[in-house]
Structure 1
Amino acid sequence: MSRQLAVCSGKGGVGKTFTSINLANALRDLGNEVLIIDADMGLANAQLMLGVTPARTIADYIFNDVALEEVIIRVDRNLMLLPGSSGDANLVNLPLSALSDISYEITRLFPNAYIVFDIAAGISEQNMHLLQLCDTRLVIFVDEPTSIADSYGVLKLLHRGGHLNQTFLVPNRVPGGASGKKMYDKMSHLCMSFLGEAPRFIGEIHEDETVKTSIRNRKPLSITFPNSTAWYNMQEIARNIVTHHTDGATARF
């Protein structure tokens, strides 16, 4: 069966799309078929980080009756992208039912794939609906007050909807010598104090200068810097995700 994995953040600029792209590559390298969905409705940029120029976007499927198979592009072996659109107000105001239809159609077309949703930052109604449609959620955050506060806002809404159990925190840009687990522990304590439950820890991504170069080159770390710390971190998170789905929801990291 397909696995729908949401990658989100409370605020922008914390490495969400970069994580989505590289995590998808790491999942592919583990032998999985992977589809990335650029679900940042209206401000899509996953294609930029992948170095591809799509002829069509998700807007063509929704508004122009173009088949999904004609919109999805093959980026690499077993790695595909459903491109988003940028600057389209109609996508920003898309009904929630349309998002549900997209999710259903994708799982029908890719019954055995990992489907990675790169979701826009923030707690819009669209974002929260997509998060609730997915089996597993990763919340990317950095050790800054605004990121922590906004991430907590996402977690609080997931808690209200009963979806915190299958939600994981991923500390990003962890300084050299520091522990991402300690960053997670602070967030976990905050959630336990006010929500009575906490998301899980599934891995961390360390500060790595190769990340900026990889983004400028519009290629994933697996191609540009396969021996980098950040790529090792992505591989570890991917392995933990697969283990979680293999062992069931009781697995804890």
Structure 2
Amino acid sequence: MDQARRLRAKTETPPTTIAFASGKGGVGKTNVCVNTAIGLVELGKRVLIVDLDIGMANVHILLNASRSRTMMDSVKARIPLAASVQKGVHGVDILHGGSGLDELVQFSHADMQFFMRELEVLTEYDYVLFDMGAGATDTSLQFIEGCDEMFLILTPEPTSLMDGYAYTKLVHRQSPDLPLGVIVNRAQSGEEALQCFERMEVACEQFLKKSIRFLGYLPDDATVRRAVIAQVPFYHLDRKSDISWRLERILTTLTGTPPKPRHFMDRLMGNLKRQWNRV
């Protein structure tokens, strides 16, 4: 992906490219990616999601969008990549990877030349978010290497931590200088989330000599289940929910834009909802 890096360098305002990754499935990676994109759009940013979670691609499901022509279709038919982008789905643009990302390694020289030229479509955005598949392949690692940063999605379970560290180790071996941020999802409290991050941080510093940063956490919130059933991003379904407020804190870390202050009643209702869900 060195060529992609050079392509971005040619633009005056290159997009920020972020790979959303996880060591295992079922940690809510796609949901975090989608709602981060929605939050960025609400801040006035132009955002593209590239769905590379092959076999488990569900960005379109969470956004209640139909599947369109894929990135692979464009390359094989020599159709401009921009023509495969779904525009304005909840304000976000979507580009589907295709049925098999590893087809990239089977590209002819002409295929790859066309593909790299067409990547210029990415330069019209402020943020390009790559929803990577769980686990690592040689091809997915190449995409991650081309990004500005990787966001690792963890949950407090030991299996998520173990698989997340193994994934980080593979990425670090390929791209030792790639910045790594951690979002802890489905945490019962800020304390639990911080403990989860600290365990990952100690492992990375001790065994990989790598520093990582804590981006924030998202609570285990019933709003998410309601949003998935309704096929609406939780940030749109309930902006006053605890998880939406926490997402705004992550967006502040990402963009530097301060979150709106929560009023007393919003904080009170959030606390009552959490207590009710535990009963």
Return the offset for 1:66.
2.2
Per the alignment, residue 77 of structure 2 pairs with: 64
Per the alignment, residue 83 of structure 1 pairs with: 96
Q: Tell me if 1:2 matches 2:15.
A: yes
**Partner SS, residue 201 of structure 1:** strand
Per the alignment, residue 166 of structure 2 pairs with: 153
Shift in alpha-carbon separation, 1:211–1:149, aligned structure 2, 3 A: same
**Partner SS, residue 172 of structure 1:** strand
**CA contact 2:155–2:184 (8 Å) conserved in 1:** yes
CA deviation map 1:81-140 (0-9, x unaligned): 11244xx3x434421877897576334553442000000010211221111110011000
Match for residue 95 of structure 1 among 94, 105, 121 = 105
Match for residue 41 of structure 1 among 54, 67, 71 = 54
**CA contact 1:2–1:107 (8 Å) conserved in 2:** no
One-letter amino acid matched to 1:4: T
Q: Tell me if 1:135 matches 2:148.
A: yes
**CA contact 2:39–2:251 (8 Å) conserved in 1:** yes
Per the alignment, residue 180 of structure 2 pairs with: 167
One-letter amino acid matched to 1:36: I
Paired with 1:12 and 1:99, the residues of 2 have a C-alpha distance of: 30
One-letter amino acid matched to 2:174: G
**Stretch moving more, 49-58 or 176-185:** 176-185
Shift in alpha-carbon separation, 1:194–1:237, aligned structure 2, 3 A: same
Per the alignment, residue 113 of structure 1 pairs with: 126
Match for residue 217 of structure 2 among 204, 211, 214 = 204
Gaps of 5+ in 1: 245-253
**CA contact 2:63–2:90 (8 Å) conserved in 1:** no
Per the alignment, residue 250 of structure 1 pairs with: none
Paired with 1:219 and 1:164, the residues of 2 have a C-alpha distance of: 36
Gaps of 5+ in 2: 1-13, 258-279
CA deviation map 1:51-86 (0-9, x unaligned): 00033222321322222121101134752111244x
**Partner SS, residue 56 of structure 2:** coil
Paired with 2:188 and 2:240, the residues of 1 have a C-alpha distance of: 18
Return the offset for 1:159.
2.2
Paired with 2:179 and 2:163, the residues of 1 have a C-alpha distance of: 19
**Partner SS, residue 4 of structure 1:** strand
**CA contact 1:45–1:84 (8 Å) conserved in 2:** no
Q: TM-score, normalised by structure 2?
A: 0.78
Q: TM-score, normalised by structure 1?
A: 0.86
Paired with 1:22 and 1:114, the residues of 2 have a C-alpha distance of: 13
CA deviation map 1:220-246 (0-9, x unaligned): 1122111111112222212211239xx
Query: Which is greater in Rg?
Result: 2
Match for residue 230 of structure 1 among 243, 246, 252 = 243
One-letter amino acid matched to 1:94: L
- Structure with greater helix share of residues: 2
Shift in alpha-carbon separation, 1:185–1:225, aligned structure 2, 3 A: same
**Partner SS, residue 95 of structure 1:** helix
Paired with 2:101 and 2:34, the residues of 1 have a C-alpha distance of: 22
**Partner SS, residue 202 of structure 1:** strand
One-letter amino acid matched to 1:59: M
User: In percent, how many aligned pairs have the same letter?
Assistant: 28
